[in-house]
Amino acid sequence: MLVKALEARYYTDPAVFREEMERFFFGMWVCVGRNEQLGEPGDYFLTDLAGASVIVTRDSVGTVRAFYNVCRHRGTQICREHEGKFAGKIQCPYHAWTYGLEGKLLAAPHMDQAEFRREDYPLKGVAAEVWDGHIFLNLAVDVKPLAEHLADLPEKFAAWGMGELRVYKRVRYEVRANWKLIVLNFNECLHCPVLHPMLNRVTDYLSGENDEPQPTYIGGTMEFKGAAETMSVDGVKRRDSLPGLSEAQCKRVLYYAIYPNLFLSLHPDYVMVHRLWPKGVDRTDVVTEWLFHPQEMAKTDFYGDDAVEFWDATNKEDWGITEQSQKGIGSRGYVPGPYSKNEGLPAAFDRMIVEKEGRKA
């Protein structure tokens, strides 16, 4: 029996979108940034998860912490700037309630009532863990360890040493499409010969193998074509391979989507990261980062723009076609069509979406 795509409501109904934000971006581990964004204790950045503003910071002993951006006094948002540095403490700008970097309430002016206890009013914490340089948060009440969510991926990707890599370039894209359409596009390459002329010159779109779909991720590999050595404008590798990779690992690219919002593209000489930030039923921001080894970036002749230019053009081709998909699915003429046998990963993603919807119902 043919497996068909999802009904239009999954991409166009604001109510479905709101439910998915609770189900995936409130109830799962979400990647929000890179460990290097918090270089020293007190450094912070803000992130928005399922409509909640969250402070992500590093405490005095170097641990990554996260707190709701809400003062425990009268609910004022503490931070306005997207990123910055706390001077050893976190202070609300309204009535100067002051917290330590670990979230403990240190000072509450004028709260001299006998029954008031500072220890009862710490900042409300959010579960935070770091894997290989990637910071994850989870807003759920009953949080299982990040290791359970990642399953076998830490071992699978260990050779790339992502924790050692550093961001060379970061770009934010605004895409007028539902977040799930971006996931679907990332996980198949049947469109590559039609849509991606540069990509199709350096990789064989029918090559490689896909992993068996897992509850928290999908992905697989692709092989290089001809003399190509990496994913760049001309396929020429101008950098040393990442130090932990084997010869076999240098001959392919890995593409994995870790639910709900992290895409990893692992190349022989760099890693590209996408983080999806749904803004509405038909709007998604995508933050893309290109990560290189710091030893390569320190070389006087280091050049990374070949990879950035290649993927910036390819990304824009992908975002454009997902916007066209959004428009078509929003039409009265849309009827779900069948997947081919080569679209197993998109079909698996759809099954996951429907299964989670059914479990909540």
Q: Give the per-residue pLDDT at 361.
A: 36
Write out the two tokens for 45: 């950045």
Looking at the chain, the number of H-run helices and the number of E-run strands are 10, 16
Instruction: Tell me the one-letter amino acid at 236.
Output: V
Instruction: Tell me the one-letter amino acid at 67.
Output: F
List Cβ neighbours of 256 (8 Å cut-off, separation of 6 or more).
153, 217, 218, 219, 220, 263, 264, 266
What is Dmax (Cα atoms) for the chain?
A: 77
Q: How many CB atoms lie within 10 A of CB 262?
A: 19
DSSP 158: G
Q: How many CB atoms lie within 10 A of CB 42?
A: 18
List Cβ neighbours of 249 (8 Å cut-off, separation of 6 or more).
159, 268
Of the candidates 30, 52, 23, the one whose C-alpha atom is nearest the C-alpha of residue 262 is 30
pTM as predicted? 0.95
Classify 82 as helix, strand or coil.
coil
What angle, rounded to 10 degrees, do the helices at 305-329 and 179-186 form? 120
Residues 66, 56 contacting (CB under 8 angstroms) = yes
Please state, in angstroms and rounded to a whole number, the distance separating the CA atoms of residues 282 and 260. Answer: 16
Per-residue pLDDT of the chain (361 residues; tens, 9 = 90+): 789 999 999 999 999 999 999 999 998 999 999 999 999 999 999 999 988 999 999 999 999 999 999 999 999 999 999 999 999 999 999 999 999 999 999 999 999 999 999 999 999 999 999 999 999 999 998 999 999 999 999 999 999 999 999 999 999 999 999 999 999 999 998 888 888 998 888 888 778 789 999 999 999 999 999 999 999 999 999 999 999 999 999 999 999 999 999 999 999 999 999 999 999 999 999 999 999 999 999 999 999 999 999 999 999 999 999 999 999 999 999 999 999 999 999 999 999 999 998 764 3
| Domains within the chain, CATH numbers bracketed | 29-139 (2.102.10.10), 152-360 (3.90.380.10)
Q: Give the per-residue pLDDT at 205.
A: 77
**Strand 64-68 relative to strand 52-58, pairing:** antiparallel
Q: Give the per-residue pLDDT at 329.
A: 98
Residues 207, 313 contacting (CB under 8 angstroms) = no
Q: Give the per-residue pLDDT at 192.
A: 85
